[in-house]
Amino acid sequence: MTLAESLSRPARRSRPKRRSQWKGLLYIAPAMALVIVFFILPVLFTFWMSLHKWPLLGAPKFIGLGNYIRMLSDTRFYGALGFTAYYTVIITIAIFALAFPLAIFVERQRRMVGVYRTAIFMPVVVGLASASLLWVWFANVDAGFLNPLLAWLGIVDLKTNFFASFDSAFFIICLMVVWKVAGFTMIILLTGLQAIPTELGEAARIDGANRWKRFIYVTLPLMRKTMALSLILSVTGSILAFDQFYIMTAGGPQNKMISVVYYIFNQSFVSFNLGYGAAMSLGLLVILVLISIFQLWLLRVGEERP
Amino acid sequence: MTGKKEARARRALLGAGGYHGTGILLAIFFLAPFAITILSSFRHGTEARLPPIPPWPTTGFSLDAYRGLDSFGAGVWQHTLNSAAVAIGTALLTVVVSLLAGYGFSRYRFMFKNALFVLIIATLMIPFQSILTPLFIILAKLGLNNSLIGLTLVYVTLQLPFSVFMMRNAFDAVPKEIEEAARIDGARDLKLLVRVLLPLVLPGIVTVAIFAFLNSWNEFLAALVLLSDNSKFTLPILISAVRAGRLGAIDWGAVQAGVTVMSVPCLFVFLLLQRYYMRGLMAGAVK
């Protein structure tokens, strides 16, 4: 009997079926209890809360679709959506622009390649909060490292306050996120690169394709699935961004750096409009589920191609 | 002929030089911020407000920055202990719960088995950021608001999709024959699981534990929302309060010390158990 057959064989036919059923459920019970209490229930509860005016203290009041109507006419919510979309596009492009060359750089087995891979990956394992705190100090005009470095290189003035204007603060945040995340995207892309049979590249070379052409016509098409996966991870992660804006700019110059999650956080836990926060959470959820569906579609497209 | 050979050798040497030059520059870019922060955190208190040029202590090694950090909240030891309790608690509980669930899903048949498995995995589709508001209320109803235990339970739940998936695959890879043999020898149920199967799925357990530890040690938003008592704060919340400053002044030395205290355990765990970490990453990516 092969391993696959033995694995798909029904478990323990000889034992009484009822008893085995009961035992299996017992094994998964703790996991199910946690998922139900701390996940399924909250998801259902979000919907219930979104139909109420729900203050922190005092009784919730049913207001039907009031929160949703408010959401659709809330210009600050649209502002947060707009900023989040802007951030997501810029940061995704920036991450890929660095991670793809990095993946190609560390793909071939050469001496020291393991050391370089590990070095590039190190920022991934610390928290986004730690990275934000590190870089907010790094880019501080009085006590930081970036000002003296960039002034020495002649790029900016020594007294430039990066966090005073939107564009420079946004640049610093993007620099921090790229530093923190590029190693992760690199490893995902690396798995895709390594899955490509070397014979294909060889064959293309014999046919006279140069390095650039091989990359465009052989490597990229075969990387569709991996690219889709890392793209989706990057996009959903960016849409949920919060830590860096909260820690590094506290919402940024003129409150221009409020992401969607940040705005929901403010409404729910600073202004204590918990019902309104729940309604916006569901709005965010719908957006993310749509993106997940788009992801599945993208992955299927990837499979149809040879 | 020899001229051609020499030219090729020189080109190979140049290529290798370019490769390693690039590699070293990249390594500096990704590692220098850590090195500078860690070294700077040992400067004297008077140097802390100055740029780290040079980044190492020039007037002798000092723990001023750590003393400064200790003056915030309930002291750095208490907050490190909070973080460690939550992270280690999450890792242990995640391992136990996903070990049992993985075993159940791999070896038993029961009603709605596939539906329940998909349900656990499907929670990955819903970001926890969107259920924080009700979670806050539910924890309050359970008397677990503002408690490290409540936070740990939330973290365990967030780890479950990945962990149950990992553990089920680990058990699926164990040949049934081993189990049958142990059964003939008289090992049953939990005894069989702990004595016979546990060592066989140990790599999976290590992977699950590393991810649970790192994610809960580093998590920020849920801790910020669910903990309101100053003395309960985990490290990320404490250090972000330090960064917000007291009376308009920011103690950058304490921020450097805080970043060091938060990052070093992560870097250490990763370097020590890199193989298991990468396995988990691949499993997640290939899935």
CATH number reported for the structural domain that contains residue A179 in this entry:
1.10.3720.10
| Chain B interface includes A236 (CB < 8 A) | yes
Q: Is residue A91 part of a domain?
A: yes
Residue carrying the six token digits 């900023």: A83
Over residues B256-274, the pLDDT tens digits come to: 899 999 999 999 999 999 8
Give me the pLDDT at residue A306, please.
43
**Per DSSP, which regions of chain B are E strands?**
none
Angle separating helix axes B148-172 and B113-122, nearest 10 degrees: 130
Q: How confident is the model at residue A3 (pLDDT cuts 50, 70, 90)?
A: very low
Per the CB < 8 Å rule, is A42 touching B97?
no
List residues bridging with A62 in a β-sheet. A52
SS3 at position A53: strand
DSSP conformational letter for B249: B
pLDDT surpassing 90 at residue A226:
no
Question: Which residues in A lie closer than 8 A to residue B130 (C-beta atoms)?
Answer: 46, 264, 281-282, 284-285, 288
Hunting for tokens 């650039």 — which residue is that?
Answer: A212
Round to whole Å and give the CA distance between A31 and B159: 10
Tell whether A128 is covered by a domain.
Answer: yes
Which CA distances in Å does A2 have to A6, A10, B146, B180?
6, 14, 53, 16
First to last CA, chain B: 53
Q: Are residues B99 and B142 in the same domain?
A: yes
Of A106-120, A196-210, B101-115, least confident by mean pLDDT is A196-210
Residue A6, pLDDT score:
42
Q: What is the pLDDT of residue B33?
A: 93
Q: Do B270 and A137 touch (CB under 8 A)?
A: no
Last-in-domain residue among B39, B66, B93: B66
What is the model's pLDDT at position A185? 92
pLDDT beyond 80 at A14: no
pLDDT of residue A18: 61
pLDDT value of residue B286: 57
What is the mean pLDDT of the segment spanning B239-243?
89
**Domain-ending residue, one of B35, B66, B97:** B66
Residues B78 and B211 in one domain: yes
Residues B41 and B81 in one domain: no
- Distance CA(B98)–CA(B161), nearest Å, equals 9
Judged against a pLDDT cut of 50, whether residue B16 lies above it is answered with: yes
**Reduced 3-state DSSP string for B186-230:** CCCHHHHHHHHHHHHHHHHHHHHHHHHHHHHHHCCHHHHHHCCCH
Looking at this protein, which amino acid is placed at residue A29? A
Nearest Cβ partner of B108 from A23, A37, A119?
A23
Q: Is the pLDDT of residue B129 over 70?
A: yes
Q: Which of A29, A13, A7, A21 is nearest to B116 (CA)?
A: A29
For residue A9, is pLDDT > 80? no
Residues B99-133: b if buried by 16+ CB within 10 A, e if exposed: bbbbbbbbbbebeebeebbebbbebeebbbbbbbb
Q: What is the average pLDDT across B221-244?
A: 89
Are B49 and B157 contained in the same domain?
Answer: no
pLDDT band at A107 (very low <50, low <70, confident <90, very high): confident
* Reported ipTM: 0.89
Residue position matching structure tokens 């033995």: A6
Has residue A42 been placed in a domain?
no
Assess A16–B contact: CB distance below 8 Å, yes or no.
no
Residue A105 lies in a domain: yes
In chain B, residues with a C-beta closer than 8 Å to the C-beta of A43 are 126, 131, 134
Q: Which of A256-265, B57-66, B109-118 has the highest mean pLDDT?
A: A256-265
CATH number of the domain encompassing residue B97: 1.10.3720.10
Residue B101 has pLDDT above 90, yes or no: yes
Confidence of residue B64 (pLDDT cuts 50, 70, 90): confident
Q: Which of A217-221, B46-50, B196-200 holds the top average pLDDT?
A: B196-200
Mean pLDDT on A236-253: 89
Is the predicted pLDDT of residue A4 greater than 50, yes or no? no
Is B247 strand, coil or helix? coil
Top-confidence residue, A218 or A283: A283
Provide, for chain A, the percentages of residues in helix, strand and coil under a 3-state DSSP scheme, each rounded to the nearest 5.
75, 0, 25
| Residue A2: pLDDT over 70 | no
pLDDT of residue A17: 56
* Residue A301 banded pLDDT, cuts 50, 70, 90: low
Give pLDDT, residue A109: 82
Q: Which of B66, B94, B120 is the last residue of a domain?
A: B66
A31 to chain B, any CB pair closer than 8 A? The answer is: yes
Higher pLDDT, B61 or A261: A261
pLDDT of residue B285: 63
| Cα gap A186→B154, rounded to integer Å | 30
Q: Which residues of B touch A16 (CB under 8 A)?
A: none
Based on the structure, what is the number of domains in chain A? Answer: 1
Same domain? For B149 and B44 the reply is no
Domain range for A187 is 75-304
- Mean pLDDT of chain B, nearest integer: 87
- How many structural domains comprise chain B? 2
Q: How far is B183 from chain A (nearest CA, A)?
A: 12
In the predicted structure, residue A292 carries a pLDDT above the cut 80: no
Record the tokens describing residue B90, joined without a space. Answer: 């999450």
Same domain, B125 and B53: no
Quick check: A185 contacting B, CB < 8 Å?
Answer: no
Average pLDDT, chain A: 84
- Across the interface, of B96, B259, B274, the residue whose CB is closest to A133 is B259
Give dist(CA A103, CA A118) in Å, integer.
12
Res. B194 pLDDT band, cuts 50 70 90: confident
Asked, for residue A46, whether it belongs to a domain, the answer is: no
Give residue B41's pLDDT band: very low, low, confident or very high (50, 70, 90): confident
B39 shares a domain with B101: no
For residues B47 and B152, state if they share a domain.
Answer: no
A8 pLDDT above the threshold of 70 = no
Q: Contact B127/A288, CB-based, under 8 Å?
A: yes
CB proximity A172 to B under 8 Å: no
Q: Return the residue matching tokens 């991670």.
A: A99
Q: Which two tokens stand for residue A251?
A: 């919402």
Q: What does each C-alpha distance from B268 to A110, B210, B237, B274 come to in angstroms? A: 25, 11, 21, 10
- Give the structural domain span for B210: 74-286
Helical packing angle, B148-172 and A17-35, nearest 10°: 140
Residue A53 has phi, psi (to 5 degrees) of -85, 110
Cα-based distances in Å from A48 to A38, B193, B225: 16, 42, 20
Amino acid at A77: F
**CB nearest A281 (choices: B104, B133, B277):** B133
Give the Cα separation of A115 and B94 in Å (integer): 31
Residue A289 is predicted with a pLDDT of: 84
- Exposure letters B7-39 (e unless 16+ CB within 10 A, then b): eeeeeeeeeeeebeeebeebbeebbebbebbbb
What is the end-to-end Cα distance of chain A in Å, rounded? Answer: 33
Q: Specify whether B151 is located in the same domain as B41.
A: no
A260, A238 Cβ separation under 8 angstroms: no
